[in-house]
Structure 1
Amino acid sequence: MTATRQGRAAGLMVMAALLVSTVGDEVAMVALALRGAERTGLTSVVSAQMLAGLVPGIVLGGPIGRVCDRFRTDAVLGVTLALECLIAAAAAAVADSALSLIATMLLLGVLGAVAQTCVMALVPQLFQDSGSQLRVNGVMESSRNAGYIVGPLLVGVLTAHGGTGLALVVDAGTFAFALLAVPVIGGWLAAMPRGADSPSTDEKRTAESAGGGLRLGLSLLWAGAARRTTLATIAVTVAATSVANVLLPFFARDMPGGTAVYGTLLAAWSVGLVLGPFLLRGRLSHRPTAMVAVAAATFIGLTYTVTGAFPVVPLMLVAFLCGGAANAVQNVTLRTHVMADCPPDLRGRVGAAYGATLQSAVAIGFALAALAPAHWARWGIFTGGAIAFVGGLLGWLRTRATVGLLAPGRAVSVPVGTAMDGEMP
């Protein structure tokens, strides 16, 4: 098999594994939440389960990054998927009490954070030029978001026929299927010529002996004035718009259609998430990733502002479809930008720091939403969207100036994926 064909086969396997494992993640989350509600009848248990799935990516970013830098990334991913398979299968049989359900979600949250860090570190190893990384990240984003749509639908069908136990058994099967991609990835990595962008085992050991966990990853992630501007803007917009995620059910409840409107809006956003990466195949692919990411974040704020200001269902559906597409564009371009100048032997720590930064912003938004009374949901969404829009616009102007696009009379062309400054090691 030629290197090109091997690369294509590996790429297809990676995409299929990502789609199936994302479906598995969603099946696990929804099935365990349903089981928690069914077996305990306590909202506090379900809330604790959701937090248990979110917190590991924030708290354990340091150890996760060190593990991914210390060992072969494909091997870490393989072990992670195998453990997810075993835990899901065990949960189907024994996870009935509140404690066991929360513990199961916590373990899957830890493993999910490891898997996400592995994927982020693997992409620049397998695809070493920025253009390829952008395309691959786009396909992965669409695959991942398609999994978010398929997962809950699959849980509904499975629980209707065999309960949450059947859903968790099928969930274990999704992780087992994703494991099939690991030997293909390992073979592709072994066949690739060793270059500066592909850290050897010795380099990984050097990275580990250098010490530093989440703190080192954060220092590398936030290095450089332009990088700090980009990430700070994204963090503000993510926190502000995350408020809407909590308030949206209360907002929809007061509209004609109630929960049906809520579900339809979420579906529109999900469709936008799948379609969004295809926008990067045109003119946007020739723009700096930092500017595109910040512009997309600004647009997300605008969609929530419009939703709060004009609560008309057809307009809201269009806004959510466009907002979901912008959300996907933001994810792809920001991830590609972070990968562009990340030291090869420290990608695990930078990837973990990246995940912890975004999840912390989401958690802040969730916490701020608790300050808004339920009857103020509409204006809470409007306020969060307006803050995100204004913050994103200011960040975009600052980013535009930093990358040198304010030259009088014309815009300077900077390829997508190009690092914005030289301060990153």
Structure 2
Amino acid sequence: MTSARLSRGATLLTVVALLISTVGDEVALVALALRGADRTGLTSVVSAQMLAGLLPGIVLGGVIGRIVDRFRLDVVLGVTLVLECLIAASAAAFADGAVLLIATMLFLGALGAVAQTCVMALVPRLFPASDVQLRVNGVMESTRNAGYIVGPLLVGLLTAQGGTGLALAVDAGTFAFALLAVPVITQWLAARAVPLPPTVDTPPAPAEGAKGGLRVGLSLLWTGPQRRAALATITVTVASTSVVNVLMPFFAREIPGGAASYGTLLATWSVGLVVGPFVLRGRLGKQPTAVVAVGAAAIIGLGYVVTAAFLVLPVMLAACLCGGMANSVQNVALRTHVMADCPQDVRGRVGAAYGATLQSSVAVGFALAGLAPAGWARWGILAGGAVAFLAGSLGWLRTRALTAPAPAGANESVPAVRVSEERAS
């Protein structure tokens, strides 16, 4: 089998597997939340489930990063999918009480964080060229967001037919299907002639640069003035827009058309998430990724400002479509910027630190939203969107100023590679 054919086949299967496993993640989240509400009748249990799914990526970031860096990526991903399959199948039969429901979400959240870190480390390893990484990350972002749309719809259909037990059983099947991609990834890594680290049976002795966990990942993640400017901007905008996400259901009372229009707005944002990465295939894709990421963050904030300021449904729909597209562009550009210049032996820790940073920002936004009265939802959305727009605009100016003109034939990531390698040595 030629490497070109293997590359195309592996890409297709990996994308399909990602879509299926993402659908599985959403099925698990929604089905377990529905079961928690049905079996306990307590909002506190559902809230605890949501937090349990979020916290492992923050608290266990160092451990996850070391695991991904220490062992073979295909092995780690395969074991993770097997465990997700077993836990989802067990939850279908046994997870009824509050403790088991919260524990199930905790384990699935931890395993999901491992899988996401594996994917972040795999992309630059399989696609060394930064422009190719951007396209692949764009395809994966669209695929992942499509899963977010399909997942809840599937839960509704399955729950109506056979309850949450059927939904969780199908969820286990999605993870089993995703395992089909693991042997292909193994062959692909070999075909690319990229040396794999030893298996779990023969762990390597850690080099000096491979020691440490989340602290090392964070120090490398925040290396360089441009990266610090971009990440600082994104953390502020993510926290402020997370406040908006909490307030949006209360804002539904003020929208013309009520809950039906609110659902349409959410669906439109989701459509924007799917189609957004395709705009990176044009001139925008040739711009520095840090600049694109923070510029997109400003557009997200502007989208929320327009949505809350003009209660005219066509205007709100257009704002949500643009905001959703900018949301996915931000994700793709920032992920590519972070991982493209990262030394191979620390990609797991940098990826875990990246995930922990963003999830911490989300958690801060969720906590701040609890301080806003429900009756002030519209003003809270305006304020959160305005903060994101201002922070993104200032960040865009700052990152543009820090983007040094590259010589012909070079890409923007070369200086950062040298800095990262010096820090890791």
TM-score normalised by structure 2 residue count: 0.95
1:246 and 2:246 matched: yes
SS in 2 for 1:326: helix
Contact in 2 for aligned 1:203/1:345 (Cα 8 Å): no
Post-superposition offset of 1:208: 8.4
Task: State the partner residue of 1:216.
Answer: 216
Could you report, residue by residue, the CA deviation over 1:71-102 in whole angstroms, capped at 9, with x for unpaired residues? Answer: 00110000000000000000000000011000
Task: State the partner residue of 2:125.
Answer: 125
Contact in 1 for aligned 2:256/2:313 (Cα 8 Å): no
What does residue range 193-212 of structure 1 map to in structure 2 within 5 Å?
193-194=193-194, 200-201=197-198, 205-207=205-207, 210-212=210-212
Task: State the partner residue of 1:55.
Answer: 55
What does residue range 388-403 of structure 1 map to in structure 2 within 5 Å?
388-403=388-403
Q: What is the alpha-carbon distance in structure 1 between the residues aligned to residue 400 and residue 410 of structure 2? A: 14
1:154 and 2:149 matched: no
Unaligned runs of 5+ in 2: none
1:423 and 2:419 matched: yes
SS in 1 for 2:419: coil
Task: State the partner residue of 1:259.
Answer: 259
Unaligned runs of 5+ in 1: 406-410
Q: What is the alpha-carbon distance in structure 2 between the residues aligned to residue 209 and residue 220 of structure 1? A: 11
CA 162–415 in structure 1, closer or farther in 2 if over 3 Å, else same: farther
Could you report, residue by residue, the CA deviation over 1:235-255 in whole angstroms, capped at 9, with x for unpaired residues? Answer: 111111111100000011233
Count of aligned residue pairs for this structure pair: 417
Post-superposition offset of 1:203: 10
Task: State the partner residue of 1:227.
Answer: 227
Post-superposition offset of 1:259: 1.7
Contact in 2 for aligned 1:85/1:176 (Cα 8 Å): yes
Q: Counterpart amino acid of 1:66? A: R
Contact in 2 for aligned 1:340/1:417 (Cα 8 Å): no
Post-superposition offset of 1:424: 2.6
What does residue range 25-424 of structure 1 map to in structure 2 within 5 Å?
25-194=25-194, 200-201=197-198, 205-207=205-207, 210-404=210-404, 418-419=413-414, 421=416, 422-424=418-420
Q: What is the alpha-carbon distance in structure 2 between the residues aligned to residue 208 and residue 71 of structure 1? A: 17
The share of aligned pairs that are identical, in percent, is: 72
Contact in 1 for aligned 2:255/2:262 (Cα 8 Å): no
Q: What is the alpha-carbon distance in structure 1 between the residues aligned to residue 157 and residue 80 of structure 2? A: 27
Contact in 1 for aligned 2:64/2:352 (Cα 8 Å): yes
Q: Which segment drifts farther, 30-39 or 299-308? A: 299-308
Post-superposition offset of 1:206: 2.9
Task: State the partner residue of 1:408.
Answer: none
Q: What is the alpha-carbon distance in structure 1 between the residues aligned to residue 274 and residue 356 of structure 2? A: 24
Q: What is the alpha-carbon distance in structure 2 between the residues aligned to residue 298 and residue 199 of structure 1? A: 40
CA 279–168 in structure 1, closer or farther in 2 if over 3 Å, else same: same
Q: Counterpart amino acid of 2:29? A: M
SS in 2 for 1:311: coil
SS in 2 for 1:55: helix
Post-superposition offset of 1:25: 0.1
Post-superposition offset of 1:311: 2.1
Contact in 1 for aligned 2:20/2:174 (Cα 8 Å): yes
Could you report, residue by residue, the CA deviation over 1:265-306 in whole angstroms, capped at 9, with x for unpaired residues? Answer: 110110000000000010011100000001000100111111
Q: What is the alpha-carbon distance in structure 2 between the residues aligned to residue 101 and residue 203 of structure 1? A: 34
